[in-house]
């Protein structure tokens, strides 16, 4: 079943005061990290929605400066797991390959007044007809992992929306099946994705997940400072283990 990805990067980043898509994370930008993670999970195409301003132009330059073929992915340090692409039999088990090109398509958000729903509707306009599932990741949730994406795409649930949860709290990203695509493009979702899902609980399967990071959003400079502090602590801890420091 073909799965596409949407990285919603069309916000104004007003609370951050800097384009969130271009913030650095694990020696890359948020947007590049998410694209690489989607690619590592064999999700294709990956559509990135952009704002209609200079930030959108800057994001597009970043996304078009490399081919995105055979991109290695480094898992987030905070997630505490290794790059799944190095595990023996992983790609064979899930029918994945490192050799296929993965299209990355940056597009403008045609409905900026609708926030995330605007990005979703813009994405649906460009989505290939053979795509059966869409995974939606906001740009301010960089802790998406290859392991989680694979778990979403291979979930046995028959419900059209799958949301990962940590201790009963819903996180990101979410996956939506094609049977809901038309509904997402109607006024039923004008009040936002969260409101739509809360109003239709019967559509949702909650996938229990082991990592609290799925709940985290990086919206403010304080959030970003905390992220960098946590990553620094992780690096220092790793170096201490390698050097034999207790």
Residues 47 and 123: beta-carbon distance below 8 Å: yes
Model pTM score = 0.81
Greater pLDDT, 223 or 89:
223
d(CA 219, CA 140): 6
Q: Does residue 163 lie within any of the structural domains?
A: yes
* Number of structural domains found in the chain: 1
Looking at the domain assignment, is residue 155 inside a domain? yes
The answer as to whether 33 is a domain residue is yes
**Mean pLDDT rounded to a whole number for the chain:** 82
Q: What are the tens digits of pLDDT across the range 189-212?
A: 888 898 999 999 999 999 999 999
- Domain membership of residue 245 (yes or no) is no
Instruction: Give the range among 58-62, 194-198, 226-230 with minimum mean pLDDT.
Output: 226-230
Task: Determine, yes or no, domain membership for 225.
Answer: no
User: 242, exposed or middle or buried, with CB in 10 Å at 0-12, 13-18, 19+?
Assistant: exposed
199-202 contacts, C-beta under 8 A, 24 or more apart: 202/159
The CATH number of the domain holding residue 56 is: 3.90.550.10
Q: What are phi and psi of 72, to 5 degrees?
A: -75, 155
pLDDT per residue as tens digits for the range 105-158: 999 999 988 989 999 999 999 999 999 999 999 999 988 999 999 999 999 889
The tally of CA atoms less than 13 A away on the side-chain side of residue 228 is 10
Residue 230: inside a domain: no
Instruction: Tell me the pLDDT band of 86, cut-offs 50, 70 and 90.
Output: very low
176 lies in some domain: yes
Q: Which domain holds residue 46?
A: 3-220
Residues 73/82, Cβ–Cβ less than 8 Å: no
Q: Is residue 236 in a domain? A: no
Tell me the two tokens of residue 181: 């695509």
């Amino acid at each position: 079943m073909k799965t596409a990805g949407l990285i919603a990067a069309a916000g104004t980043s007003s609370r951050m005061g800097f384009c969130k898509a271009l913030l650095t994370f694990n020696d890359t930008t948020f947007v590049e990290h998410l694209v690489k993670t989607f690619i590592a999970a064999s999700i294709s195409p990956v559509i990135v929605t952009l704002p209609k301003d200079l930030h959108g132009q800057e994001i597009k330059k970043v996304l078009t400066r490399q081919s995105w073929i055979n991109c290695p992915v480094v898992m987030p340090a905070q997630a505490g797991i290794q790059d799944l692409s190095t595990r023996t039999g992983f790609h064979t088990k899930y029918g994945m390959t490192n050799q296929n090109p993965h299209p990355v398509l940056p597009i403008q958000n045609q409905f900026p007044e609708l926030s995330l729903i605007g990005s979703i509707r813009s994405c649906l306009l460009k989505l290939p007809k053979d795509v059966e599932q869409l995974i939606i990741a906001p740009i301010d949730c960089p802790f998406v992992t290859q392991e989680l994406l694979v778990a979403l795409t291979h979930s046995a649930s028959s419900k059209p929306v799958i949301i990962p949860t940590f201790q009963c709290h819903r996180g990101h990203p979410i996956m939506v099946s094609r049977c809901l695509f038309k509904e997402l493009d109607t006024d039923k979702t004008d009040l936002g994705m969260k409101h739509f899902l809360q109003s239709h609980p019967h559509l949702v399967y909650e996938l229990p997940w082991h990592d609290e990071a799925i709940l985290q959003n990086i919206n403010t400079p304080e959030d970003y400072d905390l992220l960098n502090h946590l990553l620094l602590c992780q690096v220092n801890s790793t170096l201490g283990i390698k050097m034999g420091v207790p």
